[in-house]
Amino acid sequence: MASNTPIARALALHKAGRLAEAEAAYRELLAVDGRDARALHLLGLVLLSKKDIAAGIRCIRDSIEYGGPVPQRLYDLGSACRAAGDLDAAETAYRGALDRAPTFAPAWSGLGGLLRQRGRLAAAIAALEQSLQHAPDDPRTCLQLASLRAESGDFEGAESGYREVLARAPRASAASIGLGDLLARTGRAADAEAAYRKALSADPENPDLLAALGECLSAAGRLAEAETALRRTLAIQPGHVRGWFNLGKTLIESDRLDEEFLDAWLSFPGPTPPLVRAAAINHVKQTPGYRSLVQDRDAAGRPGHMDLESAPAREFLAHRILHRLLRRGIVDDLDLERLLTDVRRSILLGVDDPSSMLDFLCGLAEQCFHNEYVFAESAQESGAIDRLAARVDEYLSGSGAATATEVALLAAYRPLHRLVNRRALLEQRAVDEAYARILRQQIAEPDEERALVEAIPRIGTIDDPVSREVRAQYEENPYPRWRYPPRVENRSVEVALTGLFPYLRQADVDWPEAPRVLVAGCGTGHQSVMSALRFRDSSIMAVDLSLASLAYASRKTREAGIGRIEYAQADILRLGEIDERFDLIESTGVLHHMADPLAGWRVLRRLLKPGAFMKIGLYSEHGRRSIVAAREFVAAEGFESTPDGIREARQALGRLPSDHPARQVAERPDFYAMSTCRDMIFHVQEHRLTIGQINEWLHELSLEFVGFELTSSRIARAYLERFPDDPELRNLDYWSEFEKDNPGTFAGMYLFWVRDCAQRS
């Protein structure tokens, strides 16, 4: 074709990156001949480059219609459909290109990437191998294949692939990071460090490489070097998540965590990791203001009122880390809780004008709302706060105006949604964002939940007496109150489960691409949201006994922007009435609260598709010894499962000697909120099991044990040291022996996966 033809000139503009001019040139050609397949195809590529995906797809489809299914056009259509999220159309297009040109390497590579995205690892590897067979020098495909082999557990093949990429492209940082991470993962820390440093010599300002090197050095205990690398990471890319987290861990280990860093760390969106919360609590307890207040209180024998006008008190009340901590998560430290309790009482009973403390009170109100007012409360405080609530409600009825300070102080003792005239507060102009936030949390959001209750469908009736009691408990105390969606990787079921249990890569499993998941006993929705985020292309049915819990779940799911979860009220015992079978069933922390856990499990078993998986959580007899001691203590002392009874029981448990078995519950995060404490110590129904009992039930239900979800890799290493002949960690007789010698292994609960084996027995 002559270089001065219109299509050649347009193509030259396109190749030069002058997209606007190229688009105009292609449109001029199409104005003359709207069926010009080549111009349509190339215009589609320009539009895709401009992120106008829908228009680009239309042009490429038209080019195929008018000019035929040329492999390159089909490949480009597949890539465009994949970018648009239409994976079915993308796969059809890639396969169409390969039907016409079986040696067309780009289509094999595109198909491999798509299959990986869909979680079909074995098929993805085969497609990428085909691509390299026809284009062996393509570094991007080599890198894809190496990464995929690492993901599928073929570490030797992955290492070979990464090194092949780096031999051809030494500055390929993704290959360097992949190789280094693989070496670190397989216990070759020195080789991993060498890989990172070699890559950094060619690309010294790469933040991903610096973050990986810093993590490697930190794991090796070379904290000063790690800090240097990680600080350099954040200097280059201030929002680098891996850099932030690993620098924080490194600073904690080296006892160099400064307030500026902690303040920034607590500002990150999303849930606050326990490591960060513990660091923040420790930092607050080391401040002069905290230490001074504790000393003054102890010297005076825990007085009824504290001097909050002193310089140490003002420093404590204004401390920015304390404010962050109060707003970000529940304070799970008994000493700090006691001081906050004393401060709250002193403000209520001993400060005439606490307006200067408004910001602290707003943070305290958030803390107390989310721990469901679990702090101790004296009779004097109860009387004073009841009078304040009546006064505020009277003001809101139109006879006056409640100040923001009065409202915030009230909100630190009682939820504002209990006020008769609460809606009037929302109509007033908020003094600042902190005050506006407590109005949203304590009025607008609970009102939204009340409205949502009516829209929740019901499945069957709740007739079982124990189910009715359990429902009543969770109507009063929806459990748990969570604030942020969990951070989980969105993966296919195959990738998620083979990541947990690598031996499944060789198992005969028909992995679902768009799994239908049942969450039986979803509570307030944290687990169902986690499942939706965790399992790619999943749709969720989530059921629970409690309408209050389901309304909370519905609101938080909407807030998280997740639209593929259906909530319904149901007793597990009545789920046999639904005409559906599931690819995955999750029921964690639920069956042991039924009158007959095995009866409930039988119902769920019948809802499982052949060969499908189920995740179960059950309490351990060995792991809950301290909780059993606490339950026996509160029963012997006659504490009732009312808010006042739970508050009194917590104080009594906190006063026990440190070596008392029941005192250990104060070390559990669940001790620090009303609903979680009630669930842990005052639950109306609780069964605890042993691994031997679980094994018997699995045989009865024709379920195959897949493996435990362990809380720490250290547990797996300790198990393998003792039982090296069980590399899959699946021998329940061995696990029973291990737990007897290590009773804290399953202190939370047994959390494990099983699989239908009736069809394969």
- The H-assigned helical ranges of 203-352 are 207-219, 223-236, 241-253, 259-266, 274-285, 288-299, 311-317, 320-328, 334-350
CATH number at residue 530: 3.40.50.150
Q: Could you report the per-residue pLDDT of 80-138, keeping only the tens digit for each?
A: 999 898 989 999 999 999 999 999 999 999 999 999 888 788 889 999 999 999 998 88
* Position 121, amino acid: L
Q: Report the pLDDT value the prediction gives residue 272, as an integer from 0 to 100.
A: 82
493 neighbors 583 (Cβ within 8 angstroms): yes
597 and 697 both lie in a single domain: no
Q: Is 274 part of any domain? A: no
Tokens of 494: 């195959």
d(CA 611, CA 760): 8
Give the domain-ending residue among 404, 426, 451.
451
Q: Is 267 part of any domain? A: no
How would residue 758 be classed by pLDDT, with cut points 50, 70 and 90? low
340 and 465 both lie in a single domain: no
Cα of first residue to Cα of last residue in the chain, in angstroms, is 67
How would residue 759 be classed by pLDDT, with cut points 50, 70 and 90? low
Q: Is 263 part of any domain? A: no
Cα 167 to Cα 171, 176, 569: the distances in Å are 10, 11, 59
Q: Is 226 part of any domain? A: no
Q: Which of 662, 509, 522 is nearest to 586 (CA)?
A: 522
- Lowest mean pLDDT, pick from 49-58, 167-176, 191-200: 167-176
467 and 492 both lie in a single domain: yes
- Lowest mean pLDDT, pick from 337-351, 363-377, 488-502, 592-606: 488-502
102 and 132 both lie in a single domain: yes
Q: Report the pLDDT value the prediction gives residue 168, as an integer from 0 to 100.
A: 83
Give the domain-ending residue among 601, 618, 635.
618
513 and 596 both lie in a single domain: yes
396 and 531 both lie in a single domain: no
Q: Report the pLDDT value the prediction gives residue 613, as an integer from 0 to 100.
A: 98
Q: Report the pLDDT value the prediction gives residue 484, as an integer from 0 to 100.
A: 87
Q: Is the pLDDT higher at 702 or at 175?
A: 702
Q: Is 568 part of any domain? A: yes
294 and 417 both lie in a single domain: yes
Residue 22 has pLDDT above 90, yes or no: no
Q: Report the pLDDT value the prediction gives residue 302, as an integer from 0 to 100.
A: 57
pTM comes to 0.83
19 and 168 both lie in a single domain: yes
607 and 658 both lie in a single domain: no
How would residue 761 be classed by pLDDT, with cut points 50, 70 and 90? very low
| Average pLDDT value for residue range 367-383 | 96
The angle subtended at Cα 225 by Cα 219 and Cα 230, nearest 5°, is 80
The strands making up 608-618's β-sheet, listed across from edge to edge, are: 458-459, 565-570, 539-544, 516-520, 582-588, 608-618, 750-756, 703-708
Give the domain-ending residue among 190, 216, 242.
216
How would residue 177 be classed by pLDDT, with cut points 50, 70 and 90? confident
The angle subtended at Cα 621 by Cα 616 and Cα 624, nearest 5°, is 95
Counted residue by residue, the chain has a size of: 761
Q: Count of domains in the chain?
A: 5
CATH number at residue 161: 1.25.40.10
Q: Report the pLDDT value the prediction gives residue 273, as an integer from 0 to 100.
A: 82
User: Domain span at residue 72?
Assistant: 6-216
d(CA 170, CA 165): 8
Average pLDDT, the chain: 91
Q: Is 273 part of any domain? A: no
**31 three-class SS:** helix
Residue 1 has pLDDT above 50, yes or no: no
121 and 211 both lie in a single domain: yes
DSSP code at position 545:
S
Q: Is 246 part of any domain? A: no
* Position 302, amino acid: R
614 and 695 both lie in a single domain: no
Q: Is 388 part of any domain? A: yes
392 neighbors 424 (Cβ within 8 angstroms): no
Cis peptide before 415 (omega within 30 of 0): no
139 and 81 both lie in a single domain: yes
Q: Could you report the per-residue pLDDT of 517-559, keeping only the tens digit for each?
A: 999 999 999 999 999 999 988 999 999 999 999 999 999 999 9
